[in-house]
Each structure stands twice: as C-alpha cells, then as structure tokens.
Amino acid sequence: MEFTVWVFKHAANDQLKLIGPVILSGILRSLDGSSTTEADSSSRDIKVFAYQAIGLLATRMPNLFSNKTDMAIRLFTALRLEEQSLRLTIQEAATALATAYKGASVVILKDLEALLLENSQMEQSEVRFSAVRWATTLYDMKHCPSRYICMLGASDVKLDIREMALTGLNLLNDERESSAIATDSNYPDIVDMPTASIATL
C-alpha cells in the first residue's frame, strides 16, 4: 500500500489516468474488507496508506470523484467510525477530496449540502471540522446552507472549528482585514436563513 502512495504521487498524468481507477478500486475493496475495530498495527498502517492514497488521487484526478458523492460519504463515515489514531489521516484525505468537488455539478453540490449539515453536528470533532472545512471550500458567501453550517461552527467547543467557521462568515479579529473584506462580502438573503435551519431538524 505504501508503494501505491508513491505511485499516486509520482506517476505521470497519462499513466495515472490508466492505472488510477483500477488501483482505487482495489483500495476500496481493502477498506471494505477491514473492520473499524481492528487494533493491530499492520491493519492500521494499511488503512493509513489507503486514505493517504485516496487524498493524493483526489488532488491529481479530481474528475474521478466529482461526479458522485460516494467518496465524500465514505470519508465522513470513516471519520465517525474509525479509531482515533486514524482520524487525522482521514481528515487530511477529506480536505484533499473537498478540492476535487469544486468543479462538481450543481446537483452534486446540492446533494453534499445534506451530508455537511448532518456531519456539522456530530459528536466527533474531526467530523465537525471537516464539515465546516468543506462548507467554506465548496460554496461562496451567498450560499445559505453553508453559511448556516459556519454559524453552528462559530459556537463550537473546539477553537480550530470556531476560527474556521468565523473565517467562513468573514468575522475576523483584525478590524482592518475585516473592513477590507466586507466590501466584497455577499451574504445570503436573510429570508433564506430559516429554510436552511429547518433543513437540519
């Protein structure tokens, strides 16, 4: 699996287009065949390399992921269920995957809204962090559901989540920077906010 990470990092684009989907299929089968409760180091190492490989492939071949939400659902589920020692690696893969969805269709981005709203309120801080990260990465300031996620994150117990959420709302501590950004801010219409909040109930 470590060799797979090396291949995804160094292979030429033409080569990666041919072998990437095939290797990804094998990686997913490996993850599907593993247990979220396995504790031995070899199984954990394999999972670490598997998620690193997914993150690298998402960076280099975004079109492989952006036409469906399967991988997004998989990584957010893994963040909830996998053991603590794996979550940082999965979180990094999820961050890389978010950039792959920047060019996704309106339909896919709409489907992701529900996923992010749900995960923004999960118990695990890594899940909430990734939900806010995706909300600020994929959607602009006028997008109501993603700004609602940032509003939820602004009161999170975790400092890194609060700071990211406040950045997503353009509520920065530096007044000079805030005033400079404010002129370009295009917030959602206030009448749309109740709809976004109702969607989480």
pTM score, whole prediction? 0.83
H or E element: which one contains 3? helix 2-10
In this structure, what token pair is assigned to residue 128? 């909430």
Contacts of 9 (CB under 8 A, 6+ apart): 56
What pLDDT does 36 receive?
67
Closest of 197, 187, 98 to residue 148, by C-alpha: 197
**Residue 77's domain spans which residues?**
2-198
Q: Report the CATH number that the domain containing residue 24 is assigned in CATH.
A: 1.25.10
pLDDT tens, per residue, the chain with 201 residues: 677 888 888 888 888 889 999 999 999 999 998 876 655 788 888 899 999 999 999 999 999 999 999 999 999 999 999 999 999 999 999 999 999 999 899 999 999 999 999 999 999 999 999 999 999 999 988 899 999 999 999 999 999 999 999 999 987 655 434 444 444 556 566 555 555 554 555
CA dihedral of 6, 12, 14, 15, whole degrees rounded to 10: -40
Domain count for the chain, please give it: 1
> What is the C-alpha separation between 34 and 48, in angstroms, rounded?
12
What pLDDT does 183 receive?
44
